């Protein structure tokens, strides 16, 4: 038999319980014998654990503050040597594979040395990085985070 030969039905018929022994779900109608679950009108909550303290009550509340702000993508200073004499921005860092997306905040952190002159146009750089860039003969310009263009704007720009 092949998978496409299977005869399947989209919906199953509702099970009619409590209609006698011959029907297969007679007498207790699939509720078992005795107990809370067998009685009529008793709806148990999702977190009910048979009368003992519920897990939701046992686990402490998550307190404190959780920031929704996405953290800045970090690029190290020594990685910028590949952009000798060029202007470095989010797009060029993304093309070089140093950041995951060009539409998030980027911060340059000091590690290693900068030997090349560059013009840096990103959202942030530590003070030591700014000093290293000016020492190498370059400049740092703080810019806003670039926004994604909507598809409608992109189509207009292409025309």
Measured between alpha carbons, how far is residue 92 from residues 56, 85, 86, 99, 119 in Å?
Answer: 49, 13, 10, 9, 12
CA–CA gap between residue 149 and residue 124 (Å, rounded): 22
CA–CA gap between residue 82 and residue 116 (Å, rounded): 8
In this predicted structure, what is the pLDDT of residue 85? 86
Match 């929704």 to its residue by tokens.
68
In this prediction, residue 124 has a pLDDT band, given cuts at 50, 70 and 90, of: very high
CA–CA gap between residue 74 and residue 133 (Å, rounded): 17
pLDDT in tens, 104-123: 999 999 998 988 899 999 99
3-state secondary structure of 44: coil
CATH architecture of 73-142: Ribosomal Protein L15; Chain: K; domain 2 (3.100)
Report whether pLDDT(92) > 90. yes
3-state secondary structure of 109: strand
**What does the mean pLDDT of the chain come to?**
88
Report whether pLDDT(75) > 90. yes
CA–CA gap between residue 1 and residue 9 (Å, rounded): 17
């Amino acid at each position: 038999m092949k998978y496409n030969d299977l005869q399947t039905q989209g919906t199953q018929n509702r099970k009619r319980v409590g209609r006698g022994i011959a029907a297969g779900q007679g007498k207790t109608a699939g509720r078992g014998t005795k107990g809370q679950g067998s009685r009529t009108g008793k709806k148990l909550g999702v977190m009910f654990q048979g009368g003992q303290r519920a897990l939701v009550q046992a686990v402490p509340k998550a307190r404190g503050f959780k920031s929704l702000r996405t953290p800045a993508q970090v690029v190290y200073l020594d990685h910028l040597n590949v952009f000798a004499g060029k202007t470095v921005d989010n797009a060029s860092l993304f093309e070089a594979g140093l950041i995951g997306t060009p539409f998030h905040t980027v911060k340059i952190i000091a590690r290693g040395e900068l030997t090349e002159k560059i013009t840096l146009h990103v959202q942030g750089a530590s003070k030591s990085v700014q000093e290293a860039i000016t020492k190498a003969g370059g400049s740092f310009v703080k810019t806003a985070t670039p926004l994604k263009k909507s598809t409608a704007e992109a189509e207009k720009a292409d025309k």
